[in-house]
Amino acid sequence: MNDDESPRPRGDAASMLASEDLGPYSQDELTARIALLEAEILRVEKHRRSAAAHRDAAEALFGRKE
């Protein structure tokens, strides 16, 4: 199975954030939360690109793993 197709583990940070009640947060707190989440998205995308480049380099050197 491809890692991209694996189900997300229960209890991971993204699942907990998605299920959190946002009602108690103020507008300013929600704005700050959005900024933190956007920064985290950028960090994850950067890591994904780096991992893909590493994988591509390994496949170019050793061939694609089936």
Q: In this predicted structure, what is the pLDDT of residue 8?
A: 65
> Does the pLDDT of residue 1 top 50, yes or no?
no
> Does the pLDDT of residue 3 top 70, yes or no?
no
Query: At 33, phi and psi to the nearest 5?
Result: -65, -40
Per residue, the 3-state secondary structure of 9-65, as one string, reads CCCCHHHHHHHCCCCCCCHHHHHHHHHHHHHHHHHHHHHHHHHHHHHHHHHHHHCCC
34 is written with which tokens? 């959005």
> Does the pLDDT of residue 20 top 90, yes or no?
yes
Share of the chain above pLDDT 90, in %: 65
Share of the chain above pLDDT 70, in %: 85
